[in-house]
Amino acid sequence: METLYRSTRETASRTMTSSQAVLQGLTPDGGLFVPVNLPTAHFDFDQLATMSYQEVAYEVLKLFFTDYTEAELKACIQAAYGTQFDDPAIAPVTKHGKQYYLELFHGPTIAFKDLALQILPQLMTTAAKKNQLASEVVILTATSGDTGKAAMAGFADVPQTRIIVFYPKDGVSAIQKQQMITQAGENTYVVAINGNFDEAQTKVKELLNDPDLHAKLAASQFQFSSANSINIGRLFPQVAYYVYAYAQLIKQGQIKNGDEVNFSVPTGNFGDILAGYYAKQLGTPIHKLICASNRNNVLTDFFNTGVYNKNRDFYLTSSPSMDILVSSNLERLIFYLTGEDPVQTASLMADLKTTGQYSLSPAMRQAIKDFWAGFVTEGQDQYEIHHLYARHHYTIDPHTAVASAVAKQYQAATKDQRPMVVVSTASPYKFPQAVLTAITGEDVTVDGLAAVDQLHDLIKTPIPATVENLRDAPVRHNKVTETAGMGSTIKQILNLN
C-alpha cells in the first residue's frame, strides 16, 4: 500500500508522496509531515536476524518511501551505508556490564547523525529526478557542531546539490572546528560567523523565507532545502537501527523472538527516540522507550507532569547536542497523543509559541505510557563514564553516558529486568577532553588532537580514521562573516546578483 504524507496541523486532506515530502521538508502550514496511515509491517525477526544492516534497512524503508522503486531505494541504501562506515555491521550491538550498547558512531563524522545524513542526500537527489526538478538544490544550515558536519559529509560531491553551512566561530569544539574547515567536496561551503548559534539559526530561518532571495535563486535555477531533523528523509531511516538491534539480539542468542526489550535514548530534538516509537508501532517488541536528558530536562518534566514548559534556564553541558529547550520532533508524538487530531495539535503548538508552554489532557497523559523519562547532572554523567571504564574497560562519550545512567535509574525505580539497549550516539574520540576528565578525575585542559592522543594512550581503542585524517588535512574554508552579512555571502557563493 502506498504511504502518503500529511501535515500534523492541517484538517484538509492535502497529501503528498514520500519523495515530495522529502524535497519539501516542512509542510506549508509550519507543521511536520506524518504518514496518513501508519504502514503495517509483518516483520519476521528470525529472518531479519540473518540479514545485513542494508537488507534490514530496505525492509523498513520500503514501508515509508513507497513511491521510490525497489532499485532506487536499494541504490540509496547502498550508497549511504558502505565503506564510509568503519564497521561492516554499520550499527553493532555490544554488551558491557548488564547493558547492551547500540553503537551508532561508526560513520564518517563519528556521531549517530551519519545514519540519517548519509542517506538523506540520496533520497533527495532521487526525489529530484522523480519529480523532474530542473533546479539545483541548495542546502542551507546553521550548526552548533554535529549536524552541519554530518550534512556536509552526506552531500559532498552529490550531483545537483550544494551545501552552505554557517557555524559560530568560537562556539564549537576544537575537533569540530577542524572537521569543519577541512571539509572536502567541490559543492561544500563553510562559513564562520562572528556570533552565536542562535543568531546563526535565526538568520538562516529568515533567509530561507526571504522572498527576494527566493526570486534570485529561482532565476538562477536554484532552490533551497533543509537537512534538519524534521525531514522524513532523516527520521524514517532511523527506524531501521531499532529493528536491526532487536534482530541482532536474537542472532547473538541474547533474547528469543518475541521477548520485550527497552531502549534508553540520549535525547535532544526528539528525532532518535521518535524513530524508536515508530519501530514499536511497527511491531518491534519494545517495552519502554527511556527518554534520557542532561540538566536541560524539559522533556523529563514533560513526561512526568504532562506540562511542556520551555521558560527555564538554559545550561551548557558536556553533552552539547542535547542542550535544547524546544524539541521540534515532539510535535509528531503530540499528534499521536491527540489521536491524530490536527486541530488540537495546532492549538498546543500555538500555546507553545505564545506562552512558551502547553499541557496535555488526562487522556493524552494516559497515552504516553510507552515512555519513561529521567535526567542526570554533570557529576552523574562523569561518574557513568568513569564507572564503565573502571569496571568494564568500555569507554563512552558524554551523550551516551546520559542514556546509560538514566537506564540504571529506570531499572532501580521499576525493578524491570528486561534487556536494556543504550543507544550510543557518539564516539568518545569526538569529546576527548570531557571523557579524559571523567576517567582520570583530573581537570584536563588539553583539547583537540592532543587530547585525542592522550585518550588513546589511556584507553587503547583505535583512533577512527576520520580523526586521524584531520592531522594533515588541508584547510579549505576560511570565510568569516558578521551575522548581518550572511545573505550577501550566500549571493556571492552562488553568483547571484
Ligand X SMILES: *Cc1c(COP(=O)(O)O)cnc(C)c1O
What residue ranges bind ligand X (CB under 6 A)?
Answer: 111-113, 146, 229, 266-272, 321-322, 399, 425-426
State in angstroms the smallest separation of the CB of 231 from ligand X: 12
Question: Phi/psi at 168 (nearest 5 deg)?
Answer: -70, 125
Is the CB of 126 or the CB of 296 nearer to ligand X?
296
Contacts 24+ apart (CB under 8 A), 37-41: 37/1, 37/3, 37/4, 38/278, 38/281, 38/282, 39/1, 39/3, 39/63, 39/64, 39/66, 39/282, 40/1, 40/282, 41/282, 41/283
Return left, alpha or beta for 358; rule: phi > 0 is left, psi -120 to 50 is alpha, else beta. Answer: beta
State in angstroms the smallest separation of the CB of 160 from ligand X: 27
State in angstroms the smallest separation of the CB of 397 from ligand X: 7
Instruction: Write out the three cell numbers for 171.
Output: 562556539
* Beta strands 93-96 and 99-103, pairing class: antiparallel
State in angstroms the smallest separation of the CB of 329 from ligand X: 7
To 10 degrees, what angle do helices 239-251 and 53-64 make?
A: 140
Q: What is the dihedral angle through the alpha carbons of 427, 430, 432, 438, rounded to the nearest 10 degrees?
A: -50
To 10 degrees, what angle do helices 432-440 and 398-414 make?
A: 50
Question: Phi/psi at 192 (nearest 5 deg)?
Answer: -85, 145
Positions of E strands within 220-277: 222-225, 261-266
Q: Report whether 188 contacts 151 (CB < 8 A).
A: no
Is the CB of 110 or the CB of 213 nearer to ligand X?
110
Is the CB of 67 or the CB of 323 nearer to ligand X?
323
Q: Report whether 447 contacts 435 (CB < 8 A).
A: no
d(CA 35, CA 475): 43
State in angstroms the smallest separation of the CB of 319 from ligand X: 7
d(CA 141, CA 393): 38
Instruction: Write out the three cell numbers for 283.
Output: 511491531
Q: What is the dihedral angle through the alpha carbons of 451, 164, 138, 203, rounded to the nearest 10 degrees?
A: 110
Is the CB of 144 or the CB of 225 nearer to ligand X?
144
State in angstroms the smallest separation of the CB of 144 from ligand X: 10
State in angstroms the smallest separation of the CB of 466 from ligand X: 15
Is the CB of 199 or the CB of 272 nearer to ligand X?
272
Is the CB of 342 or the CB of 432 nearer to ligand X?
432
State in angstroms the smallest separation of the CB of 152 from ligand X: 15
Return left, alpha or beta for 393; rule: phi > 0 is left, psi -120 to 50 is alpha, else beta. Answer: left
State in angstroms the smallest separation of the CB of 278 from ligand X: 13
Is the CB of 9 or the CB of 399 nearer to ligand X?
399
State in angstroms the smallest separation of the CB of 72 from ligand X: 26
State in angstroms the smallest separation of the CB of 383 from ligand X: 19
How many CA atoms lie less than 13 Å away from 370 in the CB half-sphere? Answer: 19
Is the CB of 124 or the CB of 150 nearer to ligand X?
150
**Cβ-based burial of 381 (10 A; exposed 0-12, middle 13-18, buried ≥19):** buried
Q: Report whether 420 contacts 343 (CB < 8 A).
A: no
Is the CB of 121 or the CB of 268 nearer to ligand X?
268
For residue 211, what are the CA distances in angstroms to 100, 208, 215, 218, 224? 50, 9, 6, 10, 12
State in angstroms the smallest separation of the CB of 400 from ligand X: 8
Is the CB of 115 or the CB of 250 nearer to ligand X?
115
Is the CB of 266 or the CB of 419 nearer to ligand X?
266
Is the CB of 147 or the CB of 481 nearer to ligand X?
147
Listed residue (230, 442, 463, 444) closest to 330, CA to CA = 230
Q: Report whether 422 contacts 403 (CB < 8 A).
A: yes
Element (H, E) at 405: helix 398-414
